Copies of this chain bind each other. A is one copy, B any other.
Amino acid sequence: MKELKARILRDGRCLPGGILKVDNFINHQMDPILMKSMAVEFVRRFARTDINKIITVEASGIAPAIMVGYLLELPVVFAKKKQPSTMENILVTEVFSFTKQQSYKICVSKDYLKPGDKVLFIDDFLANGNAGKGIIDLVEQAGAELVGMGFLIEKSFQKGGDLLRSTGIHIESLARIESLDNCEIKFKD
């Protein structure tokens, strides 16, 4: 997606160790107009997909997910990283965070992820694919169907893209980064 790539080049910051900071417009300060444009692009890319629910993981996935849900007029569920005391009837899975080098749990209520649901997962980053793997597990536990996964930015030089695509699930990334070597942002194709 041209607009997103241009914005990454303008406002993204590359840090040593393959880190891309986009906290100016995606995951700390957010540009809602860009969020809407990216959601429109997801609608276009998943136009042939039968979807009845959007799922994401708190916190950075919520803004793009709610915009997709708004456009498609579908409910949006966000998996929680901490289980609220009043939450019962839950599905839990473990996610390994490569950045933090530790595991954490994400959970979702069975009331909002059910057998028969056709779920589209939306998130900000695809890097090692661990959040995606967690969602695959939750959706499977629920007896629902994961019909697609949409990411704003994919780091193609990490293994998540290949890993998730090997499951056969329809994956879309709006900007694919091939390399951040020498702190230079290079897009794939």
Closest to A109 in B: B28
| Interface, chain A (partner B; CB < 8 A) | 15, 19, 21, 23-24, 28-33, 35-36, 58-59, 62-63, 66-67, 69-70, 73-78, 80, 84-87, 99-100, 108-109, 111-112
The answer to whether A30 touches B63, judged by C-beta atoms less than 8 angstroms apart, is no
Known: A23-B87, A99-B85. A32 touches B63 (CB 8 A): no
Q: What is the distance, in angstroms, from A144's C-beta to the closest C-beta of chain B?
A: 13
CA of A108 to CA of B76, assembled, Å? 26
Residues of A contacting B: mostly: mixed
The chain B residue with its CB closest to the CB of A30 is B76
Whether B36 pairs with A70 at a CB distance below 8 angstroms is: yes
A106, chain B: closest CB distance, angstroms = 12
Other-chain contact of A15, B30, B80, B86 (Cβ < 8 Å): B86
Q: Which B residues touch A33, using CB under 8 A?
A: 70, 73
Task: Give bound CA distance, A43 to B29, whole Å.
Answer: 20
Contacts A59-B59, A66-B63, A99-B85 given; does A29 touch B73 at CB 8 Å: no
Q: In the docked arrangement, what's the CA distance between A85 and B98, Å?
A: 13
Contacting residue for A86 out of B19, B63, B77, B80, CB 8 A:
B19
